[in-house]
Each structure stands twice: as C-alpha cells, then as structure tokens.
Structure 1
C-alpha cells in the first residue's frame, strides 16, 4: 500500500523527497493576500462516540465545552486580528465535528466573532446529527446565519445503523422540522459498501432523502481506518466498483446532478463541500489550515489546545512547508474531487501551465478513459472516479491514517515523515 503512494508521489513531484512535517511553526499566519480563502471551525463534542468515525471527538462535558469555546474565540482573535483595517473576504465557513449542535447556543457567538474579521460571501454550513434536527434547533441556527446543513444519516435501514454502532432513530420529526425551517442547502450523508448492501438499499436511501427535505446528498464508501473499530467484513473492491457504477447510473437516470466524486444534488445548484476549497483557515483542535506554501494541523488534545491558546501561542502541532511540486499535487488531488480540473484556474493559482507540468499524465488519463476534455476543462469520467477512490483509499491509509493515529496519541509530536 505504501509503495503505491510513494511511487505515485515521487513521480508526480519529480523527487523522492518525503512529506516532512515538523513541530516548527509561525505564530502569525500569512493569509492576508490569499484568494479563495475558506474557514473551518471544529467542535469536538459528541453525546456518544461512533466506532466507525475517525474524527477528533470526545464525549460532551459542559465545563470542558465552556473552556473550549473560550479558547476557540481567542484563537479566532489571534488569527483574525492580523487582517488589518478592512475585513478579509472569504468564500465560506463550515462547522464540523463532533456534533456542533451540542454547542447550539454558542454558534451565534462564534459566527459574530469571525465576522469581526471576515466577510463570508458563499454561506455558512454546519454538520448535524439526526437527533439535532428539530424545529427549535434549526430556527436558532438559521437566525445565527447558517444557510447550509449536512445531516449525518449514514443509512436509513436499521441493520446498517447497527453495523456502524448507531442506534435506531425515528425520522418523522426530523422530516417535519425540515419542512418548517428551510435552508439554501440540506445535505444528507450516507455510507455505502457495507456488507450485503445492494443498489436497491441505496436507491431507497436516496429517494427517502430527496422526498423529505434534502436537495443534496453525499454517498461515501466505507473507509477502514486502523484506529477505529469494525466488526464486519469489508465489501470486495469488485462489488464496490459495481455498486458505485450503479449509484452513478441511477442518479443520472433520475436527473440528479453529480457535482463531486461522492455528491449529487437535486437541482444542480445546491452544494455542500468543505473539501474542494483551494485555501482555508482552520480553528479548533484538530483543525487544519491550507495556504499557498504550507499545511498545518492543530493539536488533537483539547487540554493542550487550551494551554497553547492561554499562553498566547497558536495550537499548531505539525507543519508541512510545501515544495512547489508537492503543492501542485495536493492542489490537483483535492480539486479532482470536484470531478473537474481547469487549466485556467491552475495557471491563476501557480502562474504555470497545467499541461506543461503534467501533459504526459493528462494524455495517459485520457487514453485510459479516466478523463475527457470539455469546454477547456478536464472532466473525470465514472471510470476515473472509481480509480480516484481506489487511490484515495491508499492515500487515506498511508497518509491521513498515519497522521491522525499519531496525533491521537501525542498532543505535540516532534515530527512526522511520510515517504
């Protein structure tokens, strides 16, 4: 597995130089002239911990949550106060977790603090557990300025919820609340490639979502992180590939628009994605920041996060300073998630030609049927999307899994070298 990612990275970056994350960091972030900047806020609290979830989270504790919010607001001040007299224009703000709605009464305060320094142009998104989709909660979020919500359904069928460690839930109240309080985007998340799962099961989930308030869905394959628990046998790659093709064909037949590798929208305009942004600032424990020449990740340890902030230091745990080629590969990998890569956007971002840097790879991808050229963009095919996922799985286990496993065990690691 590591050999595949190592050879691919070496070929695309034209060097065997590894990704070398260190504990050195700047206490001021140079983002003021960054274009297309997004924002992310991490809320790490949950009522209970789902076994399949790899994200940074702890069981909710009121006193700890109050201390966390205090530190989070100070981190926003530390980063935002360097923007200057005029507010910095950003594209979007996303709240993830954890379960952000557990701090429902703090969301408005966090947004107002962010708006001291930033002007948000494309809306505010927030993740929700189905239990939190009540009329009262939705009304409070909408009044705070939230315009997009993503509900972590995973599956409507009880047998799959049990596999994922989720308890059965009565969705009638959730559906009623979504009818009464409207949002620009209502996305519902699902996991596919679970044991014995068929296209009929998934069709049922898709139609239940779109018939009950959703105008956007995300259907992610199950990823088996080494530090999470799984008590079932994984679906074979052959069956997973067949299921993906069936999902894509079904959504196409129904007129649902595929706007990224794993997402489809009912009207072609509703979007919810915190992953396809060129640059972003992250606030909170485990939050990442991606800028033109660097990537940084905050400590996963809540107590250490608070200690760093209290001592007037950013809670950065690891930093990677990109080479130009490394940044190009990172850009292309996550831009491809949107199913399209624009040579014009690539040149605007890097000041260099996409074809001059990766002409051979593009020709090969077209020959293999992974991409096609359309209106001066390279569009990923269904075949290409399957192999993107296949490689993403290797990348996730060779890179993200290693990083998160380290961060969960060490609050402030000395370094991380990924070859």
Structure 2
C-alpha cells in the first residue's frame, strides 16, 4: 500500500479507519431516491486477450456468452424490480471485454433495463476497432445506442506492436462512421508508451478527428501487477511534458476538456461512465455506487451464474461508507471532470464544501492546482497532471490490489485498503 495514498486517506477522512470491503451485501439496493443515477453493464468476453488490459475478461465462447446474457437480464430484473415504477437515470454504458461480441443481444438487455429505468442522456458502447463495420454499427443504432467509444490505442505500427495489437483498416472505419452516424464517436488512445513523443500523440489525435471522431480519450499506461505486460513505465517528467503538450494542442484545436484525459469537439460530445454521483452496475466485476455503500460483483462468470440461479445478487464485496469516506470518493471522481461545483456538493451532502474542506481548497489554490471562477473550482493544467500522477498511485494501491484478489477469489472474506 502506498504511503502517499494511506496518508491522504487518513487526512481527508480525518480517521485512521481504512476502507473495509466485506463479504456481505443487501438483497435490496436503496437507489430509488438517488439523483444523477447512471447504469453500467459489463460484458467480459474478448476474441483475444490483450496483455496490458487489467479488466475482467475471458476468451469469447458463443454458448458461454449467451448463457451469461441470460443471467445478466435476470440480474437486471432482480435489481430493477425491487422498486415500483420506472426510475429516471442519466446514462447507460456497456463496457468489457468487447460488448460488440453480444451485439445481437444488446437490444434485449436495453429492453430489460427500460422496463425499470428511463434513460435520459443516451447509451454508450465500447468497441474494438474490428467491430467498426456498417452492419454492426447499424445493429447498435437499431438497439438504441447513441454513443460509441473505439479502443484504438494507437494508429501507429510501432505502438501497436508494443501493445500486441494488429493494424487497422482506416478507410473501412471512416466509411462505416460516415454511413452510420452517432451522437458521440470517441476514440481511446494510450499515452506514456516507450519512445512515444508529442508528434506521435498529435498524429493519433489528427487521425481520429479525420476519420470521424468528435471526442478523444488519452489514457496513461498503468502497469498493473497481475497483467502479463512487460512495457516499461515512462518517467514522471517526460509523462507530464507529454500530457501538457497534447492538452495544449487539443485546446488550440478548439476542443473542450471534458475530463483529465478527454477532449471533445463540442460540449455535447460526451463519453464518461465515471463522473456520475451514483450508479448501478450489472454483470461480472461491475460496481454499484450508492449514497452509503459501494459494492462490486464477483469476477467469476461461473460463480456469477450460480448466484443468479439462486435468485441472489452476485455481490462479492461491499463497503459501507462513513460520511467522510463518501465525501472523499465523491470529490475524487468529481475532480476527474476537472471541475468541482460547491453547490452540487452541498446539495448531495447537506453541508458546505468549504466547511468540510476549506483548508484543502485554499491549499490547492495556493499551490496552483485549482482556481475559483464564478463559484466553481477548476483544475489548472498543473493540477490536472498531479491528479493524473496521484490517480496512478491510487490505481496501484487500491484498484490493482482489489482486482488482483478478486481475479483469484470469487468471494473473498474481506479486503482492507
């Protein structure tokens, strides 16, 4: 456990108490009164397993995938049917894995969700570049999908080789995106790869917009301990220079910075499953965040099936928040958007942000990490880098440890972080 993340947790929660995830859960989830509620669905199947990818996934098998979708729909009804009527939610995102491998059944999943929820801000699906074909995009559009995110990682052969990816048919992709339009077309890239320079990232961003993207995401490479990746980690100073250069370039293009690592051609071109106050997660490894708890489903497809067969939720671990812990979680992921609205914090918690974290806000301004404009705290470029830098520590100290354990144990007794 990183000393930095432990010290930060103790300071911001004003407690020595760790985050304690325990092997228990509520049969009923109290989401009826949650505002700004989102939905997430995890499809853990891929045709090929990328060595660098940390997410819950396994090699695709059609029969196993179809059985999993049956279970997924049952989980949706188990949760959604707990409250009468339909709950209004902001958005729905499908992640994986490669959700497009179940493209012919996404309409069923969306239909099941719409029996219980009213989706107001669109539906997003992650795609492998090979999925970007006219027939598959039409299938998604007919199912109600409005946003797509394509995991390009890099258009350049040298970095595709490092990542174990194959080349792309850019002409085919451009034609498909022209033929079947979506509200948001996002393309994901990995930065901080060995030998990567600003000109490389610039070329990727230029290619994305030329092919039809209106949103790009530039995620830093993170070396998870349990992956098979042998990619060396870039030095901090070099990584900061890259992030600053590509940020400046995207701003010169007139892009809107929608989060630490994402840039949009217009404010409407949004794609983020993370910056939501509360959300319900369905499927293996999916997480649920509510006002007083955070829960994570089992990573085992087999054990997920067994729980659903018993009519039980597939929860592996649950964290019961203290009020300060919930505030820290809220602020960490809200800051990912590069903006914190004190009025939103006060509405959520019933207490002013300045009262709870006035000193920290003052310090952030003094250090040049944030500035206050029109009552909103906005992250500076310096602040964005240090958020990114801290997020790397957070990922390795918390997410890496938890996911590493959950990959080995379907239902561990507890995890203390």
Q: Which residue of the partner structure matches residue 32 of structure 1?
A: 32
SS in 1 for 2:10: helix
SS at match of 1:338: coil
The answer for the alignment partner of 1:399 in structure 2 is: 398
Q: Which residue of 2 aligns with 1:326?
A: 325
Q: Secondary structure at the match of 2:41?
A: strand
Q: Distance in 2 between matches of 1:232 and 1:341?
A: 34
Residue 223 of structure 2 aligns to a residue whose secondary structure is: coil
Matches within 5 A, 1:111-260: 111-260=110-259
Residue 335 (structure 1) aligned with residue 321 (structure 2)? no
Question: What displacement does 1:169 show?
Answer: 2.3
TM-score (norm 1): 0.99
Report what 2:97 is aligned to: 98
In the superposition, the TM-score normalised over structure 2's length comes to 0.99
Structure 2: distance between partners of 1:229 and 1:266: 35
Q: Matched residue of 1:172: which SS?
A: helix
SS at match of 1:25: coil
**Do the aligned residues in 1 keep the contact of 2:151 with 2:188 (CA within 8 Å)?**
yes
Q: Deviations over 1:197-244 (max 9, x none)?
A: 111111110011011110000001101110112223221111001111
In structure 1, how many angstroms separate the alpha carbons of the residues matched to 2:141 and 2:63? 26
Q: Which secondary structure does the structure 2 equivalent of 1:362 belong to? A: helix
Aligned equivalents of 1:166 and 1:410: distance in 2?
29
4+ long deviations beyond 3 Å: none
Q: CA shift at 1:2, angstroms?
A: 1.3
Query: Match for residue 72 of structure 2?
Result: 72
Supply the distance in 1 between the matched residues of 2:17 and 2:119 (Cα, whole angstroms).
37
Q: Secondary structure at the match of 2:211?
A: coil
Is residue 372–residue 381 contact of structure 1 (8 Å, CA) maintained in 2? Answer: yes
Pairing of 1:213-362 with structure 2 (within 5 A): 213-362=212-361
Partner Cα distance (1:294, 1:260) in 2 = 25
* Equivalent pair of 2:38/2:278 in contact (CA under 8 Å): yes
- Residues paired across the two proteins, number: 417
User: What is the alpha-carbon distance in structure 1 between the residues aligned to residue 213 and residue 104 of structure 2?
Assistant: 25
3-state SS, counterpart of residue 238 of structure 1: helix
Task: Give the root-mean-square deviation of aligned CA atoms.
Answer: 0.7
**Is residue 170–residue 211 contact of structure 2 (8 Å, CA) maintained in 1?**
no
Per-residue Cα deviation, 1:334-372 (whole angstroms, up to 9, x for no partner): 000000000000000000110000000000000000000
In the aligned structure 1, how far is the partner of 2:93 from the partner of 2:37? 12
